[in-house]
Structure 1
Amino acid sequence: MGWDSGNRARPTGWARLRARTYYRDGRQCVGCGRALKLTEARCDHIVPWSKGGTDELSNLQTLCVPCHNAKSADETRKRMRTGEPRRPVDRERPDGWWSNLGDTSWRQR
């Protein structure tokens, strides 16, 4: 649990980056200010990865589960209203990203 990676492989050094984010944010949720243990925290992309956000420290924030779920739900509602797909089809992936998923026959090009 904690620091859920979602549906994609994380880059080398992700554990260190998420810990740096957690300590930079004062070991608390930036949404509500609740103190968190590292295992309770979620490392959230400020600009979603699906919208071109990066894994740079400046684009990451620490959120508690309720704040992360609320932000994710809000992003999903916005995406559904606009008809935008969850992930861009032509986005470049890190080397080996697709091989981590197993069967990739469904992938669009």
Structure 2
Amino acid sequence: DPQATFQNHIAVNGPPMDSHLFTYRHKGGHCPLTKLKFTTPLSSTAKKAGIKPLQGHGIHISSTLKYLLHNVNFNITKIKGWWASDTFLIYLCHHTQILLLVVISHSVHILHFILFIQH
């Protein structure tokens, strides 16, 4: 539950109103959450689980795709993701091409499923 998690963050860390959103308590003060502080525990956990860790770039692309899948406007997605260029459109195009290949390769199964549920 993202909302409960965020509320817990606020309760535990008590970030000042004029600080970064994900400021956390550290050595008697507050520090803004950095990319390194965010990705290091993720990488460590992934390695312990025997899977390849996502880099910050992969996490960034994933959040961009999530915005787009929730019908967030391209320009807003660009701003939210701090994209300096339209590079994310290349990733979107690649996702579309891959999805199209998957749909085509499974089209017979999809058709059979549609016919099955209609009867």
TM-score (norm 2): 0.24
Between structures 1 and 2, the one with greater helix share: 2
Higher RCO (CA-CA < 8 Å; seq separation 6+): 1
TM-score under structure 1 length normalisation: 0.25
Q: Which one has a bigger Cα radius of gyration?
A: 2
